[in-house]
Structure 1
């Protein structure tokens, strides 16, 4: 992907800012980000839920004892579970999307490399492709 239409701050020369095609993502970067999102999801699944049952039990006990703090703690408990679920879902989505993007990019690259055809419709060899580059 290339972003090559951004003008410099002064807009004087009309050339792209920075190097040509300055938006670059490498497969190893996608993999690392996907792994980080997966690791965060795993950590949230275990440590984010540690106090859930104790919080709910405390809220129930406080409510049964006639204290309004029990209702407030139940609201807090439910809000935490909702936010935790949303965050875990976002991490899973990021991880899955980056894994998919990496695999799709590799497939696209393979298709491009093996799918070039000459005017007669026959697949071009790598050596034949190099003739066009020179």
Structure 2
């Protein structure tokens, strides 16, 4: 915006007598589900990601446990028979266990973070609505002091 344009807008505002603060806002009726506020964290796609992460956590916990137990048992059997492959399989089973924990932690983190985000956005939206709605009360107080 050029300086001249800014000066013109200020002059027009003075002519209109608009010296009070004005908040931009969305039109009251925009359709949708009737909820108030701009922050929406309940989208079906986010919910499906959270559910998929939770389902993966639940399913993978069981299946990875079976694989680990079977691998450790096989490794023990091979080692007992003197096969070097037993130690290698044991090493693979240990790495499998470590990687499984990492994946399960990531799934839990995704699911928990989405749940936290949804709750936090709801709380933030409520706080913002309360703060913005109190501006009218504050404005009335200033009007009373001016004698309007």
Calculate the TM-score normalised by the size of structure 1: 0.66
2:131 is the counterpart of 1:118 = no
1:85 aligned to 101, 109, 114, which one?
A: 101
1:58-77 to structure 2, matched below 5 A, reads 58-77=74-93
1:63–1:70 CA contact under 8 A, matched in 2: yes
Higher fraction of helix: 2
Calculate the TM-score normalised by the size of structure 2: 0.61
1:31–1:102 CA contact under 8 A, matched in 2: no
Number of aligned positions between the proteins? 99
Larger RCO of the pair (alpha carbons < 8 Å, separation 6+): 2
RMSD: 2.0
User: Residues 25 and 71 (structure 1 numbering): CA distance in 2 closer, same or farther, change over 3 Å?
Assistant: farther
Could you list the runs of 5+ residues in structure 1 that have no partner in the other structure?
1-23, 123-134
Q: Whose Rg is larger?
A: 2
1:1-134 to structure 2, matched below 5 A, reads 26-28=41-43, 29-116=45-132, 117-118=134-135, 121=138
